[in-house]
Structures are given as C-alpha cells and as structure tokens.
Structure 1
Amino acid sequence: MAAELYSKANEEFVSENYQRAVELYSEAIQAEGERDEFYVNRAQAYLKLEKYTEACNDCSKACTIRPQNDKAHFRKGIALFHLKDYKNAIDAFREGQSLDPADSNYAKWLEKCEAELPPLTSSSTEETPLASTDPTTEPSTQPTAEPPTESTAKPVQMPSRPKAKHDWYQTATHVIVTLLIKNVAKDDFTADIKEHTVSIYIKQSSGTNYSLELDLAHPIVPEQSSYKVMSTKVEVKLKKGEGIQWTKLEGEGQPQEPKAYMAAPVAAPTSQYPSSNPVSRDWDKLAQEVTEEEKTEKKEGDAALNSLFQQIYSDGTDDVKRAMLKSFYESGGTVLSTNWTEVGKDKVEVKPPDGLEWKKY
C-alpha cells in the first residue's frame, strides 16, 4: 500500500503536479511512516511549492530516521537558505558534504550562504560569552543546527520571487533548458552541471535571487554541456548521455520509450501522408510558416520547428509514427519520412542537404 502510494507520488512529481505529489507522499507516510525516502521526496515537492518550513521539517525527520541520507541534508540546507537561516544552512550543507565529498554542489551552496552572512565585527564576537556569565544558568541542550518547527518557528516574511519560469525542449543529442529572465549579468549567474543534477543560481540586485535545482530524468555529459547568458533569457544546453528521447525533464531516471516528440531534422520532409490517412496537409504552406516564424523569432527557431513536428507526429497514424522514428534515427537526422510503405522496406540512407557533408562524431 505505502509503496504503491509512493510510486504514484513520484509520478505526480515528475508530471510537475507538486501539490498532488505532497498529498500522496503524506498518505504513504501515514501508511508506513518510518521511511526516510518518503520524507525527503516530500521535502523536494515542498521546495518546488516554496513551502520551505515544511521542507525543512521533513528533511529533519529523514535525518533522524537515517542520518546517512545525504539528500536529506542537502535539501534541508536549501530550505534553510530560503528561510534566511544561513548559519544552520551551512551546518546542513557541511553534514551532507561529509557524506558525499565528491559532490561539488555543496561547495557552491556553502559559498552562497557565506556570501549572505554579515562580516564579523569585534562587538559581535564579544556578545557570545556574556550569555553564559551566570553560573546558575544551565547550558542549552538544544542542538544549534535544529531547524525551525511548526510550533517554534518565527514567521518569516519571504520576498516575492522573480517573475521567471523555465521551459525545455530537446534535439537528438541535447536537452535545452530555457530560463526566461531578462538582463542577467554573466558574473551573477552560476550553473553547476553534474551527470544527474543541475544547480542554477542567479543573484539579482533587487535581492530576490533565483535558484533552480533539477534532478534529471536521464544522465548527461557535463563536459560537453554549456550555457549562454543573453539579454532576454538564459539557455543551458545539456549533452545527452544516452541516445534516447526524454519524455520528462525530471524524474527517477527510468528509461522510457519515446512518445509524441520528434526533434527538428536537418532536411525538410519531402514525403506525403499515406493515402489511408484522412488528414491532409499542405507541406509547402507548413514549411513557409516555419520559415516566416524563424525569421521573426530566430532565437526560438529550433523550439518552434520542434513543436511543428511534434504536432505532425501526434496527429499521425501508427504507420506514420513508425516511419518518422525509423527514418530519422537511421538517417542520422537527415531524413524525416511519413511513408511507412517506403521506409519499412530497407534501412534509410543518410541524405545531407546539398552542399553539406554528413559526419558521424
């Protein structure tokens, strides 16, 4: 029962239905409470909903159940950072770092926390012993790194977050994450790209700093990934570690069959739908529309073309879908055909555009 609820909660999280994921994680906890992964995953959903106190409490519970859970310490640190409890956030990150010293995300977050702390002064260093001068005072037994709980936490007035959102699309070899944030200074942008995670932090002069943590659905190649800071947005280009299509940006890393998505091909499609397909399309008109859109919105051309072929794929019959998948992959992205009668006979040869030479890297 609990395992089934937990699995459904993970599916809702991957589908970005974070509130529903919280509800299902809560039901799983009620059914079988002493499972640290239940709490740490619910904490991640709370982080997405910007409910940082709840996320912190869940991470503390997970650490109590299994102190070696490095994800619990890491997400606890993120929650405390957003609650502006930077000192305790540092303690959480250092604890997680001791469990996984190879993860460079901890060093990045420790640097962020330390940058938010005020510089030490002589007056602030003298205040500490004054609190213990009374010999009758019992030393506090409260752990210094204990996060605020629902009963003791002081209300925190959180600043409104920047009006920004992220989106993504993919090609045969890369996943591109787009952050719609304007006028970002290159020195204020940091991105830590790992095989399974991406950590992004943008410092803004308004004080409403932006952060994004992604647990990727599939592995990537960090050394071949990059990012570009532009005046209207930021693009993070992630090199796929496996030659498969992603159905979700985030997830538990389980391979999935490609669904209604096709990457933009190098050459424009030249084939027509089979006569059995009732849908009729004017390919010349579609190509003209794509061309016009690319002229007016050059930076979004790949995403627009990708959307077009996704629609063609989703509207097609089973034979059309098989033809598009087979022709695209066997030709190295140079041919996209919808004619299964033709494509199904033999392997589709590489046909680069005139004047270009196809190479396999």
Structure 2
Amino acid sequence: MTTPRHAFYENDEKLILEIFDKGVDASKVEITFKSRSFTYKNGEKTLNLEPLQGQIDPDKSAYDVRSVKVEVTFVKLVPGRWGQLVGDSPDPLTNVPSTSTAPPPEFAPPTKRAQRKNWDGITQKILEEDKSLTSDQDPNVGGDATVNEFFQKLYADADEDTRRAMLKSYTESGGTTLSTNWAEVGKAPVEVKPPEGSEWKKWGA
C-alpha cells in the first residue's frame, strides 16, 4: 500500500483536496465520505484521512477524476478555516448551541406613552398643603407670597392651553379662582367666588 501525494487549499465554506494520481482509471477509484473521515482507494494506492479537522457534509461533498489528479471538494458544516486536514480537535458542531436550549431573547419593556399631567389634581394638592399650615407656622399662608409662588410653579411647567386657562380664570375671578381647564374656562367669563362668609366688592366701591 502506498499513499499518493496530495495537497489542499480552502476557504470558509469549502476545502479542495488534490490527490495526484496520474493516469487514474475513474472506474477503479473508490471514495468514501463520512462526517469526520475520508478514504481514497485506487489499486495499491490508499489515502485515509481520519479524523478530519472539521465536520463535513457527506451528501454535498464530491470528487472529480482528471488526467493527472483527483480533485475532492469537502463542504464544511461549520464555516471557518481548518489550517490542516486532520486533527483531534473536538467536533465543531458541539459548540453550536441548540435552538431548544437557547435562552429566549430579551425584549425591552414597552415604552409608556407620555401622559398629560393632571394639573387640576396638582392644583388641588398644593392648595390642600397650604391649608394644612396655620398663620403661626407660616406667616405667608393666605398671603400674596404663597399665591404668587404657587401660580409661578404651575405656570412654568404648563402647556399653552393650561397657561391660558390659569391667566383667564385668575384675572376674571379677581384672584378667587385658578383653573387649568381651558375647555371649561374658555366658554364664558369666570365668576368671582369669594371665600365662604365673605363678600366680594370692587376696589373703591
């Protein structure tokens, strides 16, 4: 038994093996492809490659008998360069994760849609906080300082309709009403609503 001279070249998808066997009779050539082995026989000439450096697809691999050589095409199951024909490296497919055991893909939580601020609720909350203080605790309670600070705080962060509602309601009610609802305030003049137990009078009346 003799081993014919051979050489190879490759890319990521295929490896081409050239077996130099001049005057070979195609009818006498025996070639066997397996996932990790290859065998070539022609009379007294035998080439056995096992284990192959990588795994091949036996069904897609093929050979072509020519006048001075036999050209064998190995189709790789896992793309990549081997660097050599045989080797004891582990089966490349063992490093490919199974689709059944792969963790499910992570999905980003859905983005919440921007919500319109409930300005009426904020207004009520701040008014209630102001009412919880007495004049002994805060000398500005019920005074202009508290009203101005509260008005400026809401006005700075409000949208255009909310600002229009605040200005109209506060101005037309003589400072007794502060509304952020333009749909309601824009329909008609805002009435004066003095505190319970008091009477509203125009200046100088």
The bucket for the TM-score relative to the shorter chain is 0.3 to 0.5
TM-score by length of 1: 0.24
TM-score by length of 2: 0.42
Q: Which has the higher strand share?
A: 2
Q: Which has the higher helix share?
A: 1
Tell me which of the two structures has the higher relative contact order, counting C-alpha pairs closer than 8 angstroms and 6 or more residues apart: 2
Point out the structure with max Rg over C-alpha. Answer: 2
